[in-house]
Structure 1
Amino acid sequence: MPSEIVIRCSKLLIEKKLTMAFAESATAGRLSAEFSLVPHCGAMLKGGVVCYDACIKQDILMVPEELVAQYTPESAEVSKAIAEGLAKFMQADVLIGVTGLTMPGGSETAEKPVGTMFIHAIINGRHLPVREVYQGRPEDIVLQTVDRVAQLLINEINR
């Protein structure tokens, strides 16, 4: 069952006749899955791409290899690039790119610990980058990210 904030966000998107698509790395499809469980989701959810491995980011979403090498696959810069790459083949009013570190073994550092998540939303051409650091198990981090995306969209659509 999706969280209350995901349900509220979905209803708002449907009410405003806005569509949405995802490019998901660290969330590995969970954003798409959570938003797909809301009644009438077909009115707003276009789809998504799981781009967990860097080669998918580069080959499908056309993220330059140099960008990944310079900033790491888990970065604000790559989150922006995957959202922009998604726009090249999936038409939606809202495009969301997400990368991050849900568990050890990625590019974590003292400045970018496990739990750091990067969200990049493009809403009708407006870019909204978000960096958050969450605590908990990998699933907890992913679900907090899903809710943060929903809150970001609610705030932006209602402004």
Structure 2
Amino acid sequence: MSKAEEILSSYRALGWRIATAESCTGGMVSAALTDVAGSSDVFERGFVTYTNTAKVQMLGVEEETLNAVGAVSEEVAREMAHGALAGSEADVAVAITGIAGPGGSEFKPEGRVCFGLAVRNAPVRSETVEFGALGRAKVRAGAVEKALDLLLFASTK
């Protein structure tokens, strides 16, 4: 059983639905989940918010947060996850924002990806993974795997 199938099975048993809020992965987490036949009873919706404007308009990320800490931050990942939950009928939302590369800076290097996980009636969690300058495809693939791990973790708590 694939990780996506395991997530869908776990959420189905709980009667939960999933939303995603993706930036640097551009919908790849949503695609991983919806590649599984029958996922529509668990996958509620996905937001692809690649620009800061989209994050503000679609997810309610605060412009003040973006100005203070930038899009690649745990603060923005938390606001993205919260916004995806608030703007959907899902029970759990995972958010991803990062620098897949090429590029980055000494303060926000290539391969830094921040994640948010929002579960109804619980505090929003966040964490950062430094994948390193592995190249765009590998950073994005790693971010998808981490997001799926977070979704699986949420279903066991």
TM-score normalised by structure 2 residue count: 0.89
1:60 alignment partner, SS class:
helix
CA deviation profile, 1:29-80 (whole Å, cap 9, x unmatched): 1111111011210110011111001111112222221110111111111111
Q: Which amino acid aligns with 2:68?
A: Q
Cα distance in 2 for partners of 1:150, 1:62 equals 23
Q: Segments of 4+ in structure 1 off by > 6 A?
A: none
May I ask how many residue pairs the two structures share in their alignment?
A: 155
State whether residues 103 and 115 of structure 1, in contact with CA within 8 Å, keep that contact through their aligned partners in structure 2: yes
In the TM superposition, residue 146 of structure 1 has moved relative to its aligned partner by: 1.4
The counterpart of 1:133, out of the listed 130, 134, 137, is 130
Q: Which moved more, 1:50-59 or 1:142-151?
A: 142-151
Percent identity (aligned): 23
Would the alpha carbon gap of residues 110 and 132 (structure 1) be closer, same or farther in structure 2, given more than 3 Å must change?
same
In the TM superposition, residue 111 of structure 1 has moved relative to its aligned partner by: 4.8
Cα distance in 1 for partners of 2:10, 2:85 equals 22
The counterpart of 1:119, out of the listed 91, 96, 115, is 115
Q: Which amino acid aligns with 1:132?
A: V
| RMSD of aligned residue pairs (Cα, Å) | 1.8
Q: Which moved more, 1:8-17 or 1:29-38?
A: 8-17
Alignment of 1:45-124 (within 5 A): 45-105=43-103, 108-124=104-120
Q: Which moved more, 1:129-138 or 1:113-122?
A: 129-138
Asked if 1:154 is matched to 2:148, the reply is no
Q: Which amino acid aligns with 1:129?
A: S
